[in-house]
């Protein structure tokens, strides 16, 4: 007979099964692709670079360009100085980027390559740049790699003239190009001249125009990164991913920052809009107010289907915090909320949301994996699963409706073009969640359930 009694969960500290994250160089590569005419460069073996490119390409359905130092046995023993010297020359000769963004890998970190020294000794062509950051794959996650590359660009390029450029810097965090477009649209409504860094819109969602461009027109320009120190203020979206870059900009260049959660749902989008208003001092446009009202109306209309439903949410920390806030606004119960990124601040943020909305019996955990999530769901089932593609096997095994959101989504199309941030992004998510629950209700109901007794 099948044993359905709850099983005790044993804490694992040295083993991850079905990780809820990927490694730092993936994040560094994605951040570098958000800079105009930039070639990401992997200082390690060709296999590492190929894997990181593949992860990004499967999500965005676009080529993720990158070059490699192509370590062999010799470089692994004697170091990669000659490899980086040769590869930098070849990349500039063959692909002509404006900047090469170098990140390390497990191998180059383990042997202790001093990239700062290597790069400073390279004779660069006029007007060309090389920046770097350290991204050991065995520490942290792709989120760490993302903000490490941001800080690498700033440490190499950002300066301060002493005269404000009149612009607001906005760090959008790890979001899709469609999200960045929505964030830009809202900033434009609020009449805020802004520099988004990094900016993958127009790069990893470049339009099909009949010709291939190695460097599409999008991305943050080098001059804009240089001018970040002259910004009149910074709005950093993502309390986990952007705290360190925001503090760097404040400490080195005295730029005041506002650190906000990812603007998913009503409350968090409100915070983003009000932060923009503090920069521009303009009244909130009627169109934005109407978008907010439509989202609230949709939540009220769908509440009979979402209220009290239990949901498991997983993925990148800042996206998960935003999704959890939205679920609570919809009256749902976020039973299990996990991320693979080892940031305990994530747990505190989620538990603060639980307390604010008065829910109990829910679990929040950082540095967790999907095997543990599956164990928890087996002990107490949920009504909905919300996260990246890697949760699909749990959804199949436990027969749970599944909404894909975050990174990576490799088995569906159109996600990178669609925003989940802002009021319009919130409406998109509410529609997806409600319809998934209604589809399950329709599947499990029979005609007899709807018979009218006269």
* The pLDDT of residue 2: 44
Handedness of CA 400, 405, 410, 414 (dihedral sign): positive
- Burial of residue 61 (CB within 10 Å: 0-12, 13-18, 19+) is middle
Q: Is 353 domain-assigned? A: yes
Whether the predicted pLDDT of 199 surpasses 80 = yes
Q: 94 and 45 in one domain?
A: yes
Residue 111 has pLDDT above 60, yes or no: yes
Of 231, 263, 280, the position where a domain reaches its end is: 280
Question: How far apart, in Å, are the Cα atoms of 353 and each of 26, 317, 453?
Answer: 30, 14, 44
How many CB atoms sit inside 10 A of residue 181's CB?
18
Tally of CB atoms within 10 A around 57: 15
Classify residue 12: in a domain, yes or no.
no
Q: Give phi and psi for 132, each to the nearest 5.
A: -150, 165
Packing angle, helices 243-253 and 142-157, rounded to 10: 20
Instruction: Out of 96-100, 208-212, 274-278, pick the least confident.
Output: 208-212
402: helix, coil or strand?
strand
Q: Cβ(384)–Cβ(401) under 8 Å? A: yes
Tell me the whole-structure pTM to 2 decimals. Answer: 0.94
Q: Could you tell me if residue 5 is inside a domain?
A: no
pLDDT at site 6: 64
| Same structural domain, 252 and 344 | no
Q: Which domain holds residue 237?
A: 168-206+216-280
Q: Which residue has the tokens 């989940």?
A: 420
Same domain as 144, residue 59: yes
Same-domain pairing of 298 and 407:
yes
Give the model's confidence band at 78: pLDDT under 50 very low, under 70 low, under 90 confident, else very high.
Answer: confident
231 lies in the same domain as 301: no
What is the structure's pLDDT at 451? Answer: 62
Rounded to an integer, the average pLDDT of 144-157 is 97
Q: Cβ(151)–Cβ(33) under 8 Å?
A: no
Round to whole Å and give the CA distance between 173 and 421: 12
Answer whether residue 256 shows pLDDT above 60.
yes
Three-state DSSP state, 387: strand
Strand ordering across the sheet containing 233-237: 194-196, 168-171, 233-237, 257-260
Q: Which of 280, 303, 320 is the last residue of a domain?
A: 280
Residues 255 and 396 in one domain: no
Would you say residue 454 lies in a domain? no
One domain for residues 303 and 427? yes
253, 327: one domain: no
Lowest mean pLDDT among 71-80, 259-268, 334-343, 443-452: 443-452
Asked if residue 300 and residue 374 are part of one domain, the reply reads yes
State yes or no: pLDDT of 1 exceeds 60. Answer: no
In this structure, are 262 and 293 located in the same domain? no
- CA dist., res. 388 & res. 403, Å (int): 8
Q: Do 290 and 408 reside in the same domain of the chain?
A: yes
The answer to whether residue 107 sits within a structural domain is yes
Q: Is residue 452 part of a domain?
A: no
Write b or e for each residue in 285-308: b if 16 or more Cβ atoms lie within 10 A of its Cβ, otherwise e: eeebeebbeebeebbeebeebbee
**Six-digit token pair at 161?**
């003239």
Parallel, antiparallel or unpaired: strands 384-387 and 310-314: parallel
Spatial separation of the C-alpha atoms in residues 49 and 114, rounded to whole Å: 19
Residues 6+ apart with CB under 8 A from 382: 310, 311, 312, 335, 336, 400
Report yes or no on 14 lying in a domain. no
| CATH code (residue 359) | 3.40.50.1980
pLDDT of 454 strictly over 60 = no
User: Which whole number is the average pLDDT over 311-336?
Assistant: 98
Distance CA 51, CA 49 (A): 5
Please report the DSSP string for 227-266 in residue order.
GGGG-SEEEEE-TTTSHHHHHHHHHHH---EEEE---BHH
Residue 172 within a domain = yes
Last residue of a domain, which of 260, 280, 300?
Answer: 280
Instruction: Band the pLDDT of 354: cuts 50, 70, 90.
Output: very high
Residues 322 and 382 grouped into a single domain? yes
- In 112-239, which residue ranges form alpha helices assigned H by DSSP? 115-120, 142-157, 177-189, 222-226
Considering its fold, how many domains does the chain have in total? 3
The answer for residues whose C-beta is within 8 angstroms of residue 24's C-beta and 6 or more apart is 103, 135, 136, 137, 139, 140, 141, 142, 144, 145, 148
């Amino acid at each position: 007979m099948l044993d359905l009694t709850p099983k005790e969960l044993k804490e694992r500290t040295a083993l991850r099964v079905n990780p809820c994250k990927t490694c730092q160089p993936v994040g560094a590569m994605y951040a570098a692709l958000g800079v105009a005419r930039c070639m990401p460069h992997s200082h390690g073996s060709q296999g590492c670079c190929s894997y990181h490119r593949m992860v990004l390409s499967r999500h965005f359905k676009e080529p993720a360009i990158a070059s490699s130092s192509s370590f062999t046995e010799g470089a692994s023993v004697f170091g990669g100085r000659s490899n980086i010297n040769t590869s930098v020359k070849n990349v500039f000769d063959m692909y002509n980027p404006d900047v090469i963004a170098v990140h390390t890998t497990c191998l180059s970190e383990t042997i202790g390559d001093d990239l700062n020294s290597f790069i400073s000794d390279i004779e660069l062509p006029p007007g060309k740049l090389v920046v770097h950051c350290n991204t050991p794959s065995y520490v942290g996650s792709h989120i760490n790699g993302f903000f490490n590359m941001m800080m690498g660009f700033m440490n190499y390029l950002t300066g301060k003239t002493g005269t404000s450029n009149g612009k607001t810097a906005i760090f959008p965090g790890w979001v899709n190009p469609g999200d960045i477009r929505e964030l830009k649209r809202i900033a434009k409504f609020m009449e805020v001249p802004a520099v988004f860094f990094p900016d993958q819109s127009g790069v990893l969602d470049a339009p099909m125009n009949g010709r291939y461009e190695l460097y599409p027109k999008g991305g943050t320009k080098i001059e804009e990164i240089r001018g970040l120190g002259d910004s009149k203020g910074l709005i950093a979206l993502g309390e986990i991913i952007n705290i360190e870059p925001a503090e760097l900009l404040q400490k080195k260049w005295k730029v005041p920052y506002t650190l906000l959660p990812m603007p998913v749902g009503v409350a968090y989008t409100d915070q983003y809009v009000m932060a923009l208003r503090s920069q521009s001092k303009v009244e909130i446009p009627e169109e934005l107010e109407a978008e907010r009202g439509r989202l609230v109306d949709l939540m009220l209309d769908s509440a009979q289907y979402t209220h009290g439903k239990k949901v498991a949410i997983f993925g990148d920390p800042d996206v998960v915090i935003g999704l959890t806030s939205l679920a609570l606004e919809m009256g749902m119960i976020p039973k299990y909320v996990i991320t693979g990124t080892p940031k305990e601040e994530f747990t505190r943020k989620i538990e603060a949301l639980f307390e604010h909305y008065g829910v109990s019996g829910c679990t929040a955990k950082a540095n967790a994996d999907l095997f543990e999530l599956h164990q928890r769901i087996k002990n107490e089932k949920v009504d909905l699963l919300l996260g990246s593609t890697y949760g699909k096997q749990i959804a199949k095994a436990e027969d749970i409706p599944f909404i894909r959101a975050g990174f990576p989504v490799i088995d569906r199309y159109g996600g990178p073009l669609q925003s989940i941030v802002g009021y319009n992004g919130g409406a998109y998510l509410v529609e997806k969640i409600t319809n998934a629950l209604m589809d399950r209700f329709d599947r499990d109901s029979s005609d007899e359930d709807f018979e009218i007794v006269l």
